[in-house]
Amino acid sequence: MTDRHILTAVAWPYANGPRHIGHVSGFGVPSDVFSRYHRMAGDKVLMVSGTDEHGTPITVAADAEGVTPREIADRNNRVIVDDLQSLGLSYDLFTRTTTANHRAVSQEIFLGLLKNGYVFPQTTLGAISPSTGRTLPDRYIEGTCPICGYDGARGDQCDNCGNQLDPTDLINPVSRINGETPKFVESEHYFLDLPAFARALGDWLATRTNWRSNVLNFSVNLLEDLKPRSYTRDIDWGVPVPLDGWRDRDDKRIYVWFDAVVGYLSASIEWARRSGDPEAWRQWWQTPDADAYYFMGKDNIVFHAEIWPAQLLGYNGEGDKGGTPGSYGRLNLPTEVVSSEFLTMEGRKFSSSRNVVIYVRDFLSRYDPDALRYFIAVAGPENQDTDFTWAEFLRRNNDELVAGWGNLVNRSVSMAAKNVGAVPTPGELTDADRALLATTSGAFGPIGDLLARNRQKAAATEAMRIVSEANKYLSDQAPWKLKEDPARRDTVLHTALQAIKDCNTLLTPFLPHSSQKVHELLGGTGTWSVAPRIDEVTDLDDGSPYPVITGAYAESQAVWASTPLPPPGTPLAPPTPVFTKLDPSIVDEELRRLEGGEGDGTADGEA
């Protein structure tokens, strides 16, 4: 192991329903590929997240069903945990924001900001529903953006131009719940003094030269119009405000977006407490050379490149007003905000309410998880909006996974099993043999560099190019024609199997499920790539039960290097297919499902 500590901070999926494949293409698969690579490279990775469970959408859903917000959160938390574990996302801890630990950490960050003068009280106009008298949160007010004219801007942000807004800024505001015009009344709140961080945020962003250009440019542009942002909300479901006269009120809570981003820290602290070393989290949050990578979709850049860094700077006492760190000490800022663009579906934007969607669990009930992971890696929205089509999914699965990689594994192992029954004994290598092995063993450096820089599409493409080289070698050498020269046949087969072992390692971050199968087909024993598991735990402070995703990933055999095959003579059995070839009829079937509106119909979201 190295001494390098890497925090993988993964956007928190909102617990108002199951996640669809557009969500996991942004926060899920990219963060897992990154984490698996770094673990294989020997780095100490802490991958954390959980379900974001506060805020109005949960209360709206609860009211509609006649249940409590906690019941909605409990139900959807379990659905999301099951889905993400099935997809193979290797969280060290996937928890939730309704824990007592998260509440305490969120309140400590608030108090640290208040102590340093970066949070202040102010009376402002808040929106309420005229018919119910209940508060309307910013995200549930919609109207025309006063800046770009987009008809459909929300009361907190315009998704078209990316600018922050207040509900009172909107032209012709209406409630997204019932369409009525909101009434604005005075309400006292605490505000985060964002303008006090303009200089510090600008200095920090000036050092982020290796970020994706779209993310960096957008983040820098946000600094042009920083305004104080309300840290609290008129709502009864969320983290209480830890101040006298406020903490016992049932109508004031910390804004869900502010407590959700604190979740990266609270989840790290919970992980440390569960590990037996309550201070272990500090190695990822306070070590000067530790790195922190935040993964999300592009609609969340503002909270991860502006709001959360401002919270950290203020807690550290590093804004214009100075100050001293809170009781946790100085906390590291993000190394990189890794934001993906949007995934559309058959030319349309994902929309659960309009049934333009396929949920992760529905997808995995019909197709292999590695097939989805591979599509996202090689054809996903890494740096531009990308369209998911069933025809392209079919082609990628059948032509690249089945006919390319799977066929290479199957025919090579099959010939070795049939002719030798074991790993063959190689003879003297030819130039062609050495050239292939140099190609596969030499790929770890450049592909590893691409993965370290979050260029996963290029990395997956290069790994499959190496697979093509191995396929070409096998076709050129034609071991099936070497019956009269068994020594040469065995050398070719041994070379091909070693190349397959290298390729399997290169593909492990993308294809963790099938990599275990290939490991076993090559005569390997034990666990090549540890899968995440679900543990049923109780809250460390109040004893309430909930599931978490975790895993003993250090027990994986996979390392980021060329390693030798099992010794010659190790038994090999006739292989079974690594991947499932899909019938072309699935395209029409899935399009009929899409047009028929099959699915669970819930709102979108992630923190």
Per-residue pLDDT at 227: 93
Per-residue pLDDT at 607: 52
DSSP conformation letters of 92-150: SEEEETTSHHHHHHHHHHHHHHHHTT-EEEEEEEEEE-TTT--B--GGGEEEE-TTT--
Per-residue pLDDT at 355: 78
Question: Distance (Å, rounded) from C-alpha 466 to C-alpha 532?
Answer: 28
Per-residue pLDDT at 599: 46
Per-residue pLDDT at 155: 86
DSSP conformation letters of 376-399: HHHHS-SSS-EEE-HHHHHHIIII
Question: Distance (Å, rounded) from C-alpha 551 to C-alpha 531?
Answer: 7
Neighbours of 483 (CB within 10 A): 9
Amino acid, single-letter form, for residue 423: V
Amino acid, single-letter form, for residue 566: P
Where do we find the tokens 């025309």?
Answer: 144
Q: At 301, give phi and psi (nearest 5°).
A: -60, -40
Per-residue pLDDT at 495: 98
CB 81 within 8 A of CB 534: yes
Instruction: Give the tens place of pLDDT for each residue, 431-488.
Output: 999 999 999 999 999 999 999 999 999 999 999 999 999 999 999 999 999 999 999 9
**Average model confidence (pLDDT) across the chain:** 94
Instruction: Give the tens place of pLDDT for each residue, 242-275.
Output: 999 999 898 899 999 999 999 999 999 999 999 9
pLDDT above 50: residue 600: no
Mean pLDDT of 83-95: 98
Instruction: Give the tens place of pLDDT for each residue, 492-523.
Output: 999 999 999 999 999 999 999 999 999 999 99
Burial of 184 (0-12, 13-18, 19+ CB in 10 A): middle
CB 408 within 8 A of CB 465: no
Question: Distance (Å, rounded) from C-alpha 165 to C-alpha 506?
Answer: 45
Instruction: Give the tens place of pLDDT for each residue, 136-170.
Output: 877 789 999 999 999 999 887 888 887 878 888 99
Q: 67-76, 177-186, 300-309, 540-549: lowest mean pLDDT where? A: 177-186
pLDDT above 90: residue 63: no
Where do we find the tokens 């779209």?
Answer: 214
Using pLDDT thresholds of 50, 70 and 90, give the confidence band for residue 428: very high
Residue 454: left if φ>0, alpha if ψ -120 to 50, beta else—which one?
left
Mean pLDDT of 326-346: 96
3-state secondary structure of 174: strand
Per-residue pLDDT at 606: 53
456-477 and 369-379 helices, crossing angle to 10° = 110
Question: Distance (Å, rounded) from C-alpha 377 to C-alpha 27?
Answer: 12
pLDDT above 60: residue 603: no
Tokens for 599?
Answer: 């699915």
Which stretches of 276-347 are DSSP H helices?
282-285, 301-302, 308-316
CB 19 within 8 A of CB 83: yes
Per-residue pLDDT at 225: 85
119-128 and 183-192 strand pairing: antiparallel
Question: Distance (Å, rounded) from C-alpha 53 to C-alpha 171?
Answer: 30
pLDDT above 90: residue 540: yes
Name 151's bridge partners. Answer: 144
Amino acid, single-letter form, for residue 158: C
Q: DSSP label at 11? A: -
Tokens for 448?
Answer: 């590893």
Per DSSP, the chain holds a count of helices (H) and strands (E) of 21, 18
